[in-house]
Structure 1
């Protein structure tokens, strides 16, 4: 469980779409406060999903061959296959020279971007509530769902489980936390670099999404098949 959670959290934290959205938020008016609200809403989603799963399982993993245990592995297998197929689909579109923009993906909705966004990055994108809503919108729900199926294996009678769950939430938020601290302690430099990073991600987000989907999807698929047939 621990390794799966760490891999999923790593995939979440390097997902380019939330980083692009966060860079726009913290570069706007009252960006520090909006960034904080964005992070709190982001964390709230992760904690809520974990809490729901632990409530359903009562903090105890289902027996390996029980119907709930098999259903959890089947769900993880479906998510893994979905990520693989989507990664291959996205790769075909990218190779055809027509990558999708502004559409929903397993990693979250695409963040509209372009030169006009970068040059007008200090325009206020909305209120604090809008920043919180954006955090929920760009949450990579496909990856969060993969994390939820992994949390089914959590045993809350062990202290190490809480450490693993905390590590999952922290690592999944690490890139956002780093950007927030950067904008707090070096606002001018951070703004310029975050905008350059956002511009670079706009040109490479398709490749990143394909890699994340294929690597994580193959891992979840292979492990699920092994556990179902082992």
Structure 2
């Protein structure tokens, strides 16, 4: 996913390339706009930057986050990404992320900075040096649910991130797959603490408690909610 130039700590409130809808043919036509087929070449969308998106950019900058604003794109199949950013520096390296919608980026950086990092230091006795993910954007339906074949995943809007593990300064790597049932009380408390914090920051949080599909990651999104499992 292409992105524009890097924002410094002081946000630059410049208009971005944002989306426009494809309307029906008649002037009074209220039917939904047709969906471009999945796999269609992406098209850049154009309209003024919403005020809430500008505020989100400002919030990230005030938090000391370096990021790049991305042009809005329609990738076909209902997968439209609007108001997205590419995180460049949130204070801790993050592996696997592409662009994500700004409100998700704001919640994610807050979670890492004010929940995961302090919990690693206080509970595990070592600083957090890396967060590993399985990524953010992918144009697909929900998996592992009765709606799997029909309902678009929040990943198709770059509105979800799947977190798989954490690397500590002392060399330990805590992963959801191998450590969710770890008998070590400190590791159990760490994962329980950050899971609980995620449930207060994101609209939907899915862990291995939810189903087998989520055995190896936390799914965090800013779609409908609240829902925590």
TM-score by length of 2: 0.24
* Structure that is richer in helix per residue: 1
TM-score by length of 1: 0.23
Structure number with the bigger relative contact order (C-alpha 8 A, sep ≥ 6) is 1
